[in-house]
Structure 1
Amino acid sequence: MTHRKVNRRSFLGTALAAGSAPWILPSRVWGERAPSRTLNVAIVGGAPARSVGRQSRAQVVALCDVDDRRLAGPKKDYPDAAAYNDFRVMLDEMADDIDALAIGTPDHSHFPIAILAMSMGKHVFVEKPLANTFHEAELLMAAEQKYQVACQMGNQGHSGGNYHQFKAFAEAGLLDGVTKVVSHFNRGRRWHPWGDVPGFPEGEPVPEGLHWHLWHTTAEERPFSGRYHPGNWRGWYRYGMGAMGDWGPHILDTAHRFLELGLPTEVELVHVDRHNAYVFPYETTLRFHFPARGDKPPVEVYWYDGTANRPPEGERSGTAGKVLLGGKYDFEGGTHGATLQVIPEAVRKEVESELPRFSTGSNHYQNFVLAALGEEKCRSSFDVAGPLNQVFNLGVIAQELGLQGQTLAFDPQAKRFVDNEAANALLVGPPPRKDWEFLYEL
């Protein structure tokens, strides 16, 4: 037995010894495998990861959530599935019965759940953002190569019309000259709901049925607060990636992929409103500089968030979207699978009939299931989604440092900031708590 397997077994054993047991025992006899044309899926956390289990060739065999109240609904939907509070116990007890995990938990827990499952040969569907730190995303990309399992990040539009259209436009050379991409999210969400935040909140009674010690995974355990769970964790640097991590993967995914942007050499915090050391700002404008790639020119990518922090007229698309400038034509597009439109409208009418046609394929969840069954390739595999996620990780670091007007120089080859140790420390993030360290040793 290898050193890594010993560590994993010890890790799982610790979870069992701590008294984490199945919430409801399975009603079927484990070991009776479904036919190979069906994927046995464990759902960890909430929607939209549950959509994986709704695909025609997927069978939900296990459910896992740290909150009993949130398990109750899925248990009614899948009465024959085993239900757990601790993903480690689930993987230990059902190792031979689970083919894949669909993970829809708070951002900070994506990495430990995914990498443990991958090390056990399980395929993983991980909701966006992929990982809370640059380093965790790097490890997940390496794990995808090492374990050779199907891996998909859950930015659902990356299997929609925008993906297929963007691919066709790129192959036709329509995007070769793009020099500027303006992206934005100006809808109200839960990034900054409490005004000035002087520190982590004081403790409150833990709601009945919430296994709070399991919620933290690798993070240092803190007293429960309704400002974390349910949902509000996204506004805290320690647990989420704010508006950019939540919506960036739906808005910038195709531009990043088909413009072949890779990692930037500069990240500038152009504007920030009410920076805070604990939670995300009210507003942010960021600039990313991507160098030339072969015959493709350098590209400046801008990100605007905050309900009132909108790009200039002519550089925005509704309340959430992107504009691409400098190519054969200028384009605007919305979020998720929304397709691009030539701008301005007068030009659109002239050239619309000349634009490449495109066909669509399987939806994002179905694509993952079919990839796990060996019939397709994941469209948002970690080698695609990982660098995209790392762009957002770099943006979050600029937000957290909060120095308006500061340009952070980044070395894409070394994958480190240049002469900025504070920023480099945030690439890795806080150390994992005791007994979770081995997950970071690939």
Structure 2
Amino acid sequence: MSRRASRRLFLQHTSAAGLLAAGLHVSGAPARASLSANDKLNIAAIGVANKGGHNIDELAGQNFVALCDVDETYLTQWGEKHPQARRYRDYRVMLEKEAKNIDAVVVSTADHTHAPAASVALDLGKHVYCEKPLSHTVAEARALAKLAKKNKLATQMGTQIHATDNYRRVVEIIQGGVIGPVHAVYNWCNKGWSNGRFNCGTTPAPKNLDWDLWLGPA
């Protein structure tokens, strides 16, 4: 057996054994707890279109008490799927009115409104899951971290697939010291994201979109 093969097998066996001994989940299926109604989180979603809708589906076992989106079409669509949730166009109004009713907030808005929405939620003492990018500046990110620490809140930034089981296993293996100290990490990406030049034009905002609310602090 080659040294490379033996090392690979060693890592496979020791990592699995170590994680099992620690009582951690290592199978390919998601580890989902069976929750009673009293165990469910009361969640408010800011931004329900596209990725926001996906996040709502991922949290289907929880209780959505309020939905917010600047686009009436998406708000109606997801409101019909969650009829118990009250609907809002302005997240500031929603958080003010629903502050006593929610435990956590999911922020899936346009990038430039991530930090402002998360900031209001954290300031009200709500746990926050915020899509990437967390902010546009280091100062904004530090301000959010300060609020979360001050109010002792659980937070997470959503980065594509990085919260899945496979990524978590890698984190647990490394943090558990299974492979020893990590001296270097190499990463490659051969995907080009440019779609050519974007023509802004002068097309008016759709009637279903509240343009001023979409702009936010921009």
| Cα distance, 1:122 vs structure 2 | 1.1
In 2 relative to 1, CA 47–185 (structure 1 residues): closer, same or farther, beyond 3 Å? farther
1:126 and 2:136 matched: no
Matches within 5 A, 1:39-118: 39-45=41-47, 46-54=52-60, 56=61, 58-118=62-122
Q: Contact 2:53/2:78 (CA < 8 Å) preserved in 1?
A: no
Note if 1:212 corresponds to 2:211: yes
TM-score, normalising length: structure 1: 0.37
The amino acid across from 1:139 in the alignment is A
How far apart, CA to CA, are the structure 2 residues paired with 1:65 and 1:80?
16
What percent identity do the matched residue pairs reach? 32
The separation in 2 between residues aligned to 1:180 and 1:125, in whole angstroms, is 27
- Structure 1's 143 and 185: CA in aligned 2 closer, same or farther, altered over 3 A? farther
d(CA) in 2 for partners of 1:171, 1:96: 39
3-state SS in 2 of match to 1:63: strand
Higher percent of residues as helix = 2
- Judged with a 3 Å threshold, the aligned counterparts in structure 2 of structure 1 residues 102 and 185 are, in CA distance, closer, same or farther, namely farther
Which runs of 5 or more residues in structure 1 are unaligned?
1-33, 220-442
Aligned mates of 1:78, 1:214 — CA distance in 2: 23
Which amino acid in structure 2 is aligned with residue 43 of structure 1? Answer: A
How far did 1:202 drift? Answer: 4.1
3-state SS of paired residue (2:147):
helix
Which SS does the other structure have where 2:189 is aligned?
strand
Which one has the bigger strand percentage? 1
Q: Deviations over 1:385-419 (max 9, x none)?
A: xxxxxxxxxxxxxxxxxxxxxxxxxxxxxxxxxxx
Partner of 2:202: 203
Deviations 1:91-136 (A, max 9, x none): 1222211221111111111101011011111111111222222221
- Shift in Å at residue 174 of structure 1? 2.1
User: What residue in structure 2 maps to residue 293 of structure 1?
Assistant: none
Query: In 2, distance between residues paired with 1:94 and 1:182?
Result: 43
CA drift at 1:215: 0.5
Task: Say if 2:153 is the partner of 1:149.
Answer: yes
Task: Report the CA distance shift for 1:204/1:109 in structure 2 as closer, same or farther (over 3 A).
Answer: same
Q: What residue identity is the alignment partner of 1:44?
A: I
8 Å CA contact retained: 1:100, 1:122: yes
How far is the alpha carbon of 1:51 from its aligned partner?
3.3
Tell me how far apart the structure 2 counterparts of residues 208 and 70 of structure 1 sit (CA, whole Å). 13
Counterpart mapping for 1:283-432 below 5 A: none
| Structure 1 counterpart of 2:212, one-letter code | H
Structure 1 Cα separation of the partners of residues 203 and 139 of structure 2: 32
Aligned mates of 1:166, 1:119 — CA distance in 2: 30
Q: Residue 165 of structure 2 aligns to which amino acid in structure 1?
A: G
Q: Report if aligned partners of 1:111, 1:131 keep a CA contact under 8 Å in 2.
A: yes
Task: Spell out, residue by residue over 1:354-412, the C-alpha distance to the aligned partner (whole angstroms, 9 max, x if none).
Answer: xxxxxxxxxxxxxxxxxxxxxxxxxxxxxxxxxxxxxxxxxxxxxxxxxxxxxxxxxxx
Pick closer, same or farther for the CA change 1:126–1:196 going to 2, 3 Å. closer
Instruction: After the TM superposition, list the runs of 4 or more consecutive aligned residues in structure 1 that deviate by more than 4 angstroms.
Output: none
Q: Give, as a single letter, the amino acid of the residue that structure 2 aligns with 1:218.
A: P
* 2:142 matched residue in structure 1: 138
Whether contact under 8 Å (1:43, 1:53) holds in the other structure is no
Correspondences of 1:154-303 after superposition (within 5 Å): 154-155=158-159, 156-172=161-177, 174=179, 176-184=181-189, 186=191, 189=193, 192-195=194-197, 201-219=200-218
CA RMSD of aligned residues (A): 2.3
SS in structure 1 at match of 2:163: helix
Which residue in 1 is equivalent to 2:19? none
Counterparts in 2 of 1:173 and 1:35: CA distance versus 1, 3 Å: closer
2:40 counterpart of 1:38: yes
